[in-house]
Structure 1
Amino acid sequence: MSSSKDTLTFPKTIQPSAVHSTQKVSSFWTDLNLNWLSSSFKHSAAILLFIAIWEIAPRIGLVDPAFLPPFSTVLVSGWNLIQNGQLLTHLQASLVRSFSGFILSILIAIPLGLAIGWYSRFSEFLSPLLEVFRNTAALALLPVFILFLGIGESSKIALVTYACTWPILLNTISGVRNVDPLLIKSARTMGLSPIQLFRKVILPAAIPTIFVGVRLAGSFSVLMLIAAEMVGAKAGLGYLINYAQYNFQIPEMFFGIISITTVGLLFNYSLLFIEKRLTAWKTER
């Protein structure tokens, strides 16, 4: 019979099962981090290559650094704009104008698109007028907006609203008209009233198509605003780019372009997130 001294004991804090569990958790997080790094590199490889070419080409003389400064020089100039507060001022002015026009276009285009898509007589009445205006370029109307609304904020917000309205409106009409007829027939056989049919069937089925237009409008809200800010503005990213180009401050000009791109990407991913939350019922294929 063996004595208790021969029995192998472990301290409570270092039990074999606890050590094994700790190793498994550590291995899990290591694999997860490696997978995340690998995935991130695959998705950003083209961007990293582009930045590397941008940095190297001016330094080895492939392009004139006066017209295309190295990427690091652009970042240094951008950091100076951030430190002196200029970038924040221009960014805030652009975001207020862009967001205001974008929200107004949603409030106008979605209800109007739902009505046009659902009521055929209303559609027949408005369609000729809509065809005329949707084929009129937004920038072509900028002098008209300035003439009636002045050179201040109202004309810029109106231009953004006009440009953003069309993709939302057309996709809303398309979304309502392309709802599966079987869904509508099934809902009617269940005794749903027209209002219930519209609220519980038509609108949910049309949301994915509507959000395609909303995301397009998000891009237009930035693009049209930049063009508007290049005429008669005293602040904004478009003004920053135009002012830097006019004074041959090329690094600042490129950083303004990068800032616009970043704003557009963040806007698009924010809308994607909202879309996924609103269309969580969809079956992924």
Structure 2
Amino acid sequence: MNDAPKKAGPVQPVASAQSTGVDFFGLGLNLVGLVAGILIWWLLTASGAVGLPRPPEVVSKFIEVIANGQLATDLMSSLARVLTGFLIGVITAIPVGFAMGWYTVARSLIDPYLQFFRMIPPLAIIPLAIVTMGIDETPKIFVIFLASFLASVVATYQGVISVDKTMINAARVLGAKDLTIFLRVIIPASTPFILVGVRIGLGSAWATLVAAELIAAQTGLGFRMQQAQLYYDLPTIFVSLITIGILGLAMDRILLAIERLLTNWQERV
């Protein structure tokens, strides 16, 4: 009898949700939470405990505004304002944040203004924006831009100053110049902070939308909510709220996917 141990063959990888990158358990919990929230909403409104519209009323209003094209018009108007203000804010904030983090002089010059405007809510800027920019699209986009810019620039600045000084010193010892250190060390190390700031800036842009559309808007989700408030049209308010939430969630998930792609070197829980 041959008692020699048999040579083990190669271990076959076991397919799992983790290996495919799809968290089916998390998605299932998301679905359960969504259904539970709708059921609680339905029960509370059916019992008369809260004076909110019932889910069927909101669904009926959704169908109505989709059929007459109102939702598409409002959605495109609001989306154009949010994307324009958000993109301008982020594109401006990233170089400013890098300059503040890398150059002490720039930090000293810009930081007082940055902290000053951070303390002022975007709603308070609206009267000044109307007086100086008129009532067309410019002041609406400016208010959204300001909210996005302030969130993104702080995160970028924090990312730059949080880079491990040991890596910078090691690069200098190896003969790297400032430009090489900036491109090969500072930018990769601060990217997670920047992307978190971009996500916060996106949330700020959507949160500022309703206030921005106070400025003589004729279309938009925020404008529609304000009009519905005058007539106590709760289903229309809910339609706009849900649409903003869905759009914001979808855009946030896109940014989250980009973040995972650009920072796949990070260990995640």
TM range (shorter): 0.7 to 0.9
Residue 117 (structure 1) aligns with: 101
- What is the rounded CA distance, in whole Å, between the counterparts of 1:94 and 1:57 in structure 2? 31
Residue 41 (structure 1) aligns with: 28
Highest Rg: 1 or 2? 1
Q: How many residues are aligned here?
A: 250
Q: What are the ranges of 5 or more consecutive residues in structure 1 without an aligned counterpart?
A: 1-27, 30-34
- Cα RMSD over matched residues? 1.9
- The one-letter amino acid paired with 2:87 is I
Residue 129 (structure 1) aligns with: 113
- What is the rounded CA distance, in whole Å, between the counterparts of 1:200 and 1:38 in structure 2? 37
- What is the rounded CA distance, in whole Å, between the counterparts of 1:188 and 1:39 in structure 2? 44
- What is the rounded CA distance, in whole Å, between the counterparts of 1:265 and 1:233 in structure 2? 24
- The one-letter amino acid paired with 1:42 is L
Q: Normalization by structure 1: what TM-score?
A: 0.83
Q: Structure 1 pair 39/137, CA: closer, same or farther in 2 (3 Å)?
A: closer
Residue 205 (structure 1) aligns with: 189
Residue 282 (structure 1) aligns with: 266
- The one-letter amino acid paired with 1:171 is A
Q: Does 1:260 align with 2:247?
A: no
- How far apart are residue 197 of structure 1 and its match? 0.5
Q: Structure 1 pair 275/38, CA: closer, same or farther in 2 (3 Å)?
A: closer
- The one-letter amino acid paired with 1:101 is G
Q: 2:74 is matched with which residue: 65, 85, 90?
A: 90
Q: Structure 1 pair 107/38, CA: closer, same or farther in 2 (3 Å)?
A: closer
Whether contact under 8 Å (2:147, 2:204) holds in the other structure is: yes
Greater than 4 Å deviation, 4+ residue runs = 35-39
Q: Does 1:151 align with 2:138?
A: no
Residue 58 (structure 1) aligns with: 45
- The one-letter amino acid paired with 1:122 is A
- What is the rounded CA distance, in whole Å, between the counterparts of 1:86 and 1:167 in structure 2? 32
Secondary structure at the aligned position of 1:97 is classed as helix
- How far apart are residue 142 of structure 1 and its match? 0.8
Q: Structure 1 pair 147/97, CA: closer, same or farther in 2 (3 Å)?
A: same
- The one-letter amino acid paired with 1:257 is L
Q: Structure 1 pair 241/217, CA: closer, same or farther in 2 (3 Å)?
A: same
Residue 244 (structure 1) aligns with: 228
Q: Structure 1 pair 115/250, CA: closer, same or farther in 2 (3 Å)?
A: same
Whether contact under 8 Å (2:130, 2:215) holds in the other structure is: no
- What is the rounded CA distance, in whole Å, between the counterparts of 2:147 and 2:107 in structure 1? 21
Q: In terms of mean alpha carbon deviation, does 238-247 or 156-165 score higher?
A: 238-247
- The one-letter amino acid paired with 2:246 is T
- What is the rounded CA distance, in whole Å, between the counterparts of 1:229 and 1:245 in structure 2? 14
- What is the rounded CA distance, in whole Å, between the counterparts of 1:236 and 1:208 in structure 2? 33
Residue 4 (structure 2) aligns with: none
- What is the rounded CA distance, in whole Å, between the counterparts of 1:100 and 1:62 in structure 2? 41
- What is the rounded CA distance, in whole Å, between the counterparts of 1:62 and 1:37 in structure 2? 35
Q: Structure 1 pair 194/40, CA: closer, same or farther in 2 (3 Å)?
A: closer
Q: Does 1:70 align with 2:54?
A: yes
- What is the rounded CA distance, in whole Å, between the counterparts of 1:111 and 1:90 in structure 2? 33
Q: Structure 1 pair 196/50, CA: closer, same or farther in 2 (3 Å)?
A: same
Residue 219 (structure 1) aligns with: 203
Q: Aligned residues: percent identity?
A: 34
Structure 1, residues 52-110: CA drift from partner, whole Å, max 9, x if none? 121122223333xxx41111210111111111110000000000000000110112110
Q: What are the ranges of 5 or more consecutive residues in structure 2 without an aligned counterpart?
A: 1-14, 17-21
- What is the rounded CA distance, in whole Å, between the counterparts of 1:261 and 1:77 in structure 2? 17
Structure 1, residues 29-69: CA drift from partner, whole Å, max 9, x if none? 9xxxxx97765332232332221121122223333xxx411
Q: Structure 1 pair 57/130, CA: closer, same or farther in 2 (3 Å)?
A: closer
Q: Structure 1 pair 70/155, CA: closer, same or farther in 2 (3 Å)?
A: same
Q: Structure 1 pair 114/99, CA: closer, same or farther in 2 (3 Å)?
A: same
